Structure 1
Amino acid sequence: MKYVFLLGVLTSIVYIKIISRGINNVCKTFGDYYSDRDRNDNCYHNPDEFLSVPRIIARNGYPLETHAVTTDDGYILTIFRIPWGKSSTPPKTRKPVFIQHGFGSNSAAFVHRQSKSLAFILADEGYDVWLGNSRGSIYSNNHTTLDDSNYEFWDFTVHEHGVFDLPAQMSYVQHVTQQKIIYVGYSMGTMAMYIYGVTYPDLSSKQVDFFINLAPVAYLNGTKSMLRFLFPYWLIAKPLVDFVTGGRFFVRFLSRELLSVTCYPLPIQLKICQIPEMILGGFSYYQSDPETLPISFLQVGDLISSKSLTHLIQIYLSGKFQNYDYGFEGNKRKYYQPEPPLYNLSKMKIPTHFIRAENDLVITKENVEYLYNSLPEKVRPDYIHVVDDEYFNHSDFVTANDVVDLLYRHIVKVLKDRLV
Structure 2
Amino acid sequence: MMFSFISKIKSNLYLFLLILIFIGAAKLVVSLKTSDKILEFGYPLEIYETQSKDGYMLGLERIPHSRNVNKTSKIGKPVLMVHGLYGTSMLFAAVNTSQAYALSDAGYDVWLMNFRLSGISKLIKDPKSGIIPPLQNVSWDFSMEELAIYDLTASIDYVLNITGYEKLDLTGFSLGNTIILIALSELPEYQNKVNKIVMIVPTTRMKTYHAPAWRMYFLIKLRIKGEKYIPKLPDYDNQIFGYNCMKNNLFWKYYCRNVVNSVQGISLPYNRKALELLKVYPQPTAVKVLFHVYQHIRSDHFCKYDYGPIQNIKYYNSTVPPDYDLTKIIVPSYILHSKIDSTATPEDIKWLVNQLPNVKKTRFIKEARHSHLGIIINSEANKITNNFMVQSLNDNS
TM-score scaled by length of structure 2:
0.84
**Equivalent residue, structure 1, for 2:5:** none
Residues 308-347 of structure 1: matches in 2 within 5 Å? Answer: 308-347=289-328
| Identical counterparts, % of pairs | 25
Shift of 1:158: 1.3
Shift of 1:223: 0.8
**Equivalent residue, structure 2, for 1:199:** 186
* 1:311–1:168 distance in 2 versus 1, CA, 3 Å: same
**Equivalent residue, structure 2, for 1:248:** 230
The match for 1:411 among 374, 377, 389 is: 389
Shift of 1:334: 2.2
Report Cα offsets for 1:18-77 as digits up to 9, x if no partner: xxxxxxxxxxxxxxxxxxxxxxxxxxxxxx984322222122211111111111100110
**Equivalent residue, structure 2, for 1:187:** 174
The match for 1:176 among 159, 162, 182 is: 162
Measure the CA separation in 2 of the matches of 1:49 and 1:401. Answer: 25
Matched, 1:360 2:347: no
Matched, 1:349 2:316: no
Report Cα offsets for 1:94-132 as digits up to 9, x if no partner: 111111111101001111102x11111211111100000
Residues 125-274 of structure 1: matches in 2 within 5 Å? Answer: 125-141=106-122, 147-150=133-136, 153-179=139-165, 180-201=167-188, 203-226=189-212, 229-230=213-214, 232-234=216-218, 236-243=220-227, 246-249=228-231, 256-260=238-242, 262-263=244-245, 264-274=247-257
The match for 1:296 among 273, 277, 282 is: 277
Structure 1 contact 122–412 (Cα < 8 Å) conserved: yes
Give the counterpart letter for 1:413 in structure 2.
Q
- Output the aligned Cα RMSD: 2.4
Structure 2 contact 239–280 (Cα < 8 Å) conserved: no
Structure 1 contact 162–193 (Cα < 8 Å) conserved: yes
Structure 1 contact 242–248 (Cα < 8 Å) conserved: no
Flag as ranges the 4+ runs of structure 1 deviating above 4 A.
142-146
The match for 2:33 among 45, 52, 59 is: 52
Higher-Rg structure is 1
Q: Which has the higher contact order (CA 8 A, sep 6+)?
A: 2
Matched, 1:95 2:69: no
Give the counterpart letter for 1:222 in structure 2.
T
* 1:181–1:113 distance in 2 versus 1, CA, 3 Å: same
Shift of 1:267: 3.4
Shift of 1:305: 1.5
Measure the CA separation in 2 of the matches of 1:49 and 1:288. Answer: 24
| Farther-moved stretch of structure 1 (170-179 vs 208-217) | 170-179
**Equivalent residue, structure 1, for 2:94:** 112
Give the counterpart letter for 1:162 in structure 2.
A
**Equivalent residue, structure 1, for 2:9:** none
* 1:235–1:269 distance in 2 versus 1, CA, 3 Å: closer
Give the counterpart letter for 1:191 in structure 2.
T
Where does the alignment leave 5 or more consecutive residues of structure 2 unmatched?
A: 1-28
Shift of 1:312: 0.5
Where does the alignment leave 5 or more consecutive residues of structure 1 unmatched?
A: 1-47
Measure the CA separation in 2 of the matches of 1:261 and 1:344. Answer: 42
Measure the CA separation in 2 of the matches of 1:49 and 1:403. Answer: 27
What is the aligned length? Answer: 359
* 1:56–1:153 distance in 2 versus 1, CA, 3 Å: same
**Equivalent residue, structure 2, for 1:28:** none
Structure 1 contact 204–350 (Cα < 8 Å) conserved: no
* 1:216–1:261 distance in 2 versus 1, CA, 3 Å: closer
Residue 126 of structure 1: SS of its match in structure 2?
coil
Matched, 1:380 2:362: no
Give the counterpart letter for 2:395 in structure 1.
D
